[in-house]
Amino acid sequence: MVEFNNIILEKHGKIAALTLNRPAKLNAISGALIYEMDLALNDVEEDRGVKVLTIKGAGRAFSVGYDVDPSTPERKGVGCDRTEQSRHQSLLRGGRP
C-alpha cells in the first residue's frame, strides 16, 4: 500500500476508511490531497474484498473546502485556481486531467 501524507487509508475486512488528514488546515482540499485521494480510491476500487468505504475528516472539521491559503507551497496564485479546481474535480469524477 502507498504511504500517504494528507490522508489515511485503512482496511478492515470488507470496510475501508479514508480520513482526510490535514487537521491543522481543517482538512482543506489541496492538490496533494486530491492526488492522494485519487490513488486511494483506485486502490479501494481494485480491492474486490472491500464492499464499503467511509470518508471522514481528522480533527474538528470534515473539510472547509478548497485550500486558498497563499502560503501553501503548491499554490501558484489566484489566476491558477480555476484551472487547478477543474483538474481536481476531473480526478474526483474518475477522469484524467
Please tell me whether residue 90 adopts helix, strand or coil conformation: helix
* Residue 82, H or E segment: helix 78-92
**How far, in Å, are 14, 60, 70, 71, 87 from residue 92 at the CA level?**
22, 24, 23, 24, 9
How do residues 4-37 score in pLDDT, each as one tens digit?
999 999 999 999 999 999 999 999 988 889 889 9
Residue 10 per-residue DSSP state: E
Q: What is the mean pLDDT of the segment spanning 41-50? A: 95
Kindly list the domain boundaries of the chain, sorted by start residue. 7-92
Identify the CATH assignment for 7-92 out of 3.40.50.10170, 3.40.50.1110, 3.90.226.10, 3.40.630.10: 3.90.226.10
The answer on pLDDT for 60 being more than 90 is: yes
The answer on pLDDT for 78 being more than 60 is: no
